């Protein structure tokens, strides 16, 4: 997915500002002063009050639905050569006129028109991507539910977060405690079985650690192991619930 660049981000932010036609004249004058300095207009060639009044009237009439932030962006882009303008159109030539202002703004509008389409497309692309990922995850879950024998140890844990987020499974706190207790019991049995099969004392140490935490509280890797097991128990029941019920008529 294409990412927005600096100008596109500034453009999107500038659209949230108040329209020029709603701005006090002093605010417009301040922005004009700023861009006149940026284009290199010398103090001796600054427009007089009458010329400023004509320029401001022109801006409010022709560009009143734009924002002052857009004006700054337009001239910043023009100076940086990022608008479709020739150098002779960018250079002020000590005459900051209505025509000069409109030349910059026309090029900016052409750029803004295409950019506006892009910033509207991006959220749509994100939603489409989410929709595709949603469908792919559901398909993967259905593949698991179709397995003849489901190995609980191998059920992908990402199924749990997805199904909870999609409100496809809802487990109450009481039910969660029940699954945690069941998971704890199952892990304890597995540790006991491991001691009978192991030829070293690692399994014995693991069981003794479990017994200690059983009294003092589970933490670290053992706690994660229990939580993950409880999630897989929930997922296993969900996957089994998706299987079609087989009816024997004999």
Express each pLDDT in 77-134 by its tens digit.
999 999 999 999 998 888 899 999 999 999 999 998 888 877 665 554 455 556 657 7
What confidence tens digit (pLDDT) does each residue in 38-73 have? 999 888 888 888 899 999 999 999 999 899 999 999
Closest CA to 163 of 224, 223, 241: 241
Mean pLDDT of the chain: 85
Residue 193 has pLDDT above 90, yes or no: no
**Is position 13 within any domain?**
yes
What residues have CB less than 8 Å from 129, skipping those under 6 apart? Answer: 1
What confidence tens digit (pLDDT) does each residue in 13-47 have? 888 888 998 889 999 999 999 999 999 988 888 88
Q: Do both 155 and 120 map to the same domain?
A: no
Give dist(CA 36, CA 43) in Å, integer.
9
Closest CA to 71 of 88, 59, 53, 57: 59
What confidence tens digit (pLDDT) does each residue in 161-180 have? 888 888 888 888 889 899 99
**Is position 176 within any domain?**
yes
Of the spans 92-96, 106-110, 187-191, 200-204, which averages the highest pLDDT?
106-110
Q: Do both 107 and 216 map to the same domain?
A: no
Structure tokens at 64: 């009143």
Of the residues 63, 92, 125, the one at which a domain ends: 125
pLDDT given at position 58: 93
Closest CA to 71 of 42, 107, 97: 107
Q: Do both 16 and 120 map to the same domain?
A: yes
**Is position 248 within any domain?**
no
Query: Taken in order 36, 39, 44, 50, is the CA torsion positive or negative?
Result: negative
Residue 249 has pLDDT above 50, yes or no: no
pLDDT given at position 128: 52
Q: Do both 14 and 104 map to the same domain?
A: yes
Q: Do both 18 and 119 map to the same domain?
A: yes
* Count of Cβ atoms closer than 10 Å to residue 77 Cβ: 20
Give dist(CA 109, CA 47) in Å, integer.
25
Residues 220-226: what's their mean pLDDT?
89
Residue 250 has pLDDT above 70, yes or no: no
| Inter-residue contact 39 to 75 (CB < 8 Å) | yes
Specify the residue for token string 């190995």: 151
Q: Do both 50 and 153 map to the same domain?
A: no
pLDDT given at position 247: 35
* Count of Cβ atoms closer than 10 Å to residue 226 Cβ: 23
Give dist(CA 62, CA 83) in Å, integer.
20
What residues have CB less than 8 Å from 41, skipping those under 6 apart? Answer: 92, 94, 96
- pLDDT bin (cut points 50, 70, 90) of residue 235 is very high
Query: What is the domain range of residue 62?
Result: 6-125
pLDDT given at position 63: 92
pLDDT given at position 17: 85
pLDDT given at position 8: 83
């Amino acid at each position: 997915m294409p990412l927005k660049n600096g100008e596109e981000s500034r453009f999107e932010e500038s659209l949230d500002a108040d329209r020029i036609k709603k701005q006090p004249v002093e605010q417009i004058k301040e922005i004009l002063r700023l861009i006149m300095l940026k284009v290199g207009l010398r103090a001796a060639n600054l427009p007089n009050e009458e010329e400023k009044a004509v320029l401001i009237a022109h801006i409010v009439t022709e560009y009143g639905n734009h924002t002052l932030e857009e004006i700054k962006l337009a001239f910043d882009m023009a100076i940086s050569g990022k608008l479709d303008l020739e150098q002779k159109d960018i250079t002020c030539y000590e005459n900051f006129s209505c025509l000069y202002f409109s030349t910059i703004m026309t090029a900016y509008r052409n750029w803004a028109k295409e950019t506006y389409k892009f910033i509207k497309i991006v959220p749509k692309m994100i939603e489409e991507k989410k929709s595709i990922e949603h469908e792919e995850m559901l398909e993967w879950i259905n593949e698991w539910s179709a397995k003849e024998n489901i190995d609980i140890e191998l059920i992908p844990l990402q199924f749990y977060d997805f199904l909870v987020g999609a409100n496809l499974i809802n487990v109450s706190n009481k039910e969660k405690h029940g699954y945690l207790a069941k998971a704890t019991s199952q892990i304890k049995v597995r540790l006991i079985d491991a001691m009978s099969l192991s030829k070293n004392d690692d399994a014995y140490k693991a069981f003794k650690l479990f017994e200690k935490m059983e009294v003092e509280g589970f933490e670290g890797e053992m706690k994660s192991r229990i939580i993950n097991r409880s999630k897989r128990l929930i997922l296993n029941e969900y996957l089994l619930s998706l299987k079609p019920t087989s009816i024997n008529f004999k």
